Structure 1
Amino acid sequence: MASEAKDPGVSGRKPVNFELTRRNLKTSEIVALEIVRDIVAQNLQPGDRLPLEAELLVQYRVSRSSLREALRLLEVQGLIGIRPGPGAGTVVGRPLPGNLSRTLTLHLHMLGASYDELLEAWVESEPVIARLAALNPDREAVREALSPFLDDSHPYAVREGLRFHDVLAELSNNRVLSLVLRSVAFIVTEQVLTTTERGELEEHIVHDHRELAKAIINGDGELAANLMRDHIRYEVEHFREFWPLRIGETVQWR
């Protein structure tokens, strides 16, 4: 007699019902969502002004306290900016990896994730960005963006070393991966790379960036991904040697 397939719901543990774990949104959170939806629907750009508070109160039909809490929620995420004093008002912000990374570090800290895990995530995510940049169909944009990195004697190549990775993210042609994966890289840059002496790495970094730029300009996605993985692993191993005790520490919320 053939054995019956096991029903994942039939076991000693009840399956998790994710719907039951979701809490009801507060009024301020609902208003925050509506504000963002309206920003997108109206195609507002970073720096564009939102209506005055009195107008927003009428538009969203909420109390002043709920509206202000909604605006604070969005300000913390960097999605709006509130300017005090002369010319005061609320302006549209910009979705940035640095803003997302702050929320991400809070979750990683609560999760107990270590810097070793963070660095491994960085090693695995950067090659994805490099491969996608190499496959970008707008070859002219790729050449224009990466040509300055081909000359390793050019001051730009050293000065804009960290900017190189942002350029690749922009060339990846995928806003989801660009934002999410660059938020991981942002945490690494802010909490890891800036704690080490960079001078001895500059020559190696500039060389790697030049070779990566060549591969991406040539449209070789696999080579770009492999070069990026080697490039990032070199930096990770340098950090492990420089600060071995920190590898096992929990990622800090900043």
Structure 2
Amino acid sequence: MSEQIARQTVDYIIGNGLVPGTRLPVEAELGRTLGVGRNTLREALRLLEAWGVIEIRQGRNGGAIVRHPDPSDLRGPLTVQLLFDGATLDDVLEIRLMLEPETAYLAAQKMSEDEVADLEASVTRLRTGGNASHDAFIQENRYFHSAIARHTGNIVLRSVIESIEAVFDGTAQGVSYSSRRRGAVADAHARIAKAIQLGDPDKAREEMRAHLLEAGSYWTRNRSLMEKRLNWPD
């Protein structure tokens, strides 16, 4: 029953056009609207919070606040699934090689000038700030790939790619990047951004595939690393 009510609440939020930051009606009013008791409603709200649909805030101005679910909300469930199934870095590389070149292909067809400028700015940050710390490099690297996924125009593809990016990029398995390697990644990103900027989907696909294969080659220098089971990401 609580899951049923959670689904009805999602329909209520979408049907009424409630934007992120909107406070849902107080429990008594929402319960009357949905025709459900207090305990069942509270269980449903906990489910919605786990799904990333709402945020429960405490205090005078608290309550159930609408939020927009993000692909990173899948991080926990996806991580657990992969851990139980014994997935490896090899598995992650295979799926990225299947999806991300096509993501770049679509992006080259659809990205606006402003969106391409955002990619180019990411490349600049990678070159100028990526060496500040390993963490800064990793975050910027993730941002670049996620930005391409966001601008494909395909919601399903974007969610899948961003979920994978949010979970595993090799760092939890011990992959690290020297200054020289960080420069090579920045160069690869620049080539991908250039192909997208030129509106050349085939070239964008080719450059993304080459980038991932290069990364895979870097990872596979340590075969045991590739075959090691995935770990909890940072």
- CA displacement, residues 129-168 of structure 1 (integer Å, 9 cap, x when unaligned): 11111010x5333333234256588636775332111211
SS of the residue corresponding to residue 219 of structure 1 reads coil
| Greater fraction helix | 2
Distance in structure 1 (CA, Å) of the matches to 2:141 and 2:113: 22
Residue 176 of structure 2 is aligned to residue 197 of structure 1: yes
Alignment of 1:32 with 2:6, yes or no, is yes
State whether structure 2 residue 167 is matched by structure 1 residue 187.
yes
Q: 1:29 to 1:153 in 2, by over 3 A?
A: closer
Deviation, 1:105, is 2.5
- Residue in 1 aligned with 2:102? 128
Please tell me whether Structure 1 or Structure 2 has the larger radius of gyration of its CA atoms: 1
- The 5-angstrom pairing of residues 13-162 of structure 1 reads 27-136=1-110, 139-149=112-122, 151=124, 155=128, 160-162=140-142
Which residue type is aligned with residue 140 of structure 1? E
Q: Take 2:201 and 2:51, find their aligned partners in 1: how far apart are those partners? A: 33
Contact 1:149 1:156 survives alignment (8 Å): no
Cα deviations by residue, 1:67-122 (Å, 9 ceiling, x for unpaired): 11111112112221111123211111222121123222233334443332122112
- Percent identity among equivalent residues? 33
Question: C-alpha displacement at 1:34, in angstroms?
Answer: 0.8
| TM-score, length of structure 2 as denominator length | 0.84
The alpha-carbon deviation at position 39 of structure 1 amounts to: 1.3
Cα distance change, pair 28–154 in 1 and its aligned pair in 2 (3 A): same
Residue type at the aligned position of 1:193: T
Please tell me the root mean square deviation across aligned C-alpha atoms, in Å: 2.4
- Given that 1:121 and 1:184 are in contact with CA atoms closer than 8 Å, whether structure 2 keeps it comes out as no
Q: Measure, in 1, the Cα distance between the counterparts of 2:24 and 2:197.
A: 41
More displaced stretch, 78-87 vs 218-227: 78-87
* Alpha-carbon separation, structure 2, partners of 1:164 and 1:87: 37
Q: Determine helix, strand or coil for the equivalent of 2:65.
A: strand
Q: Structure 1 residues 116, 89: closer, same or farther in 2, change over 3 A?
A: same
User: Quick check: 1:82–1:88 contact (8 Å CA) kept in 2?
Assistant: yes
Task: In structure 2, list runs of 5 or more residues that go unmatched.
Answer: none
Aligned counterpart for 2:211 among listed residues 198, 212, 231: 231
Which AA in structure 1 matches 2:83?
Answer: H
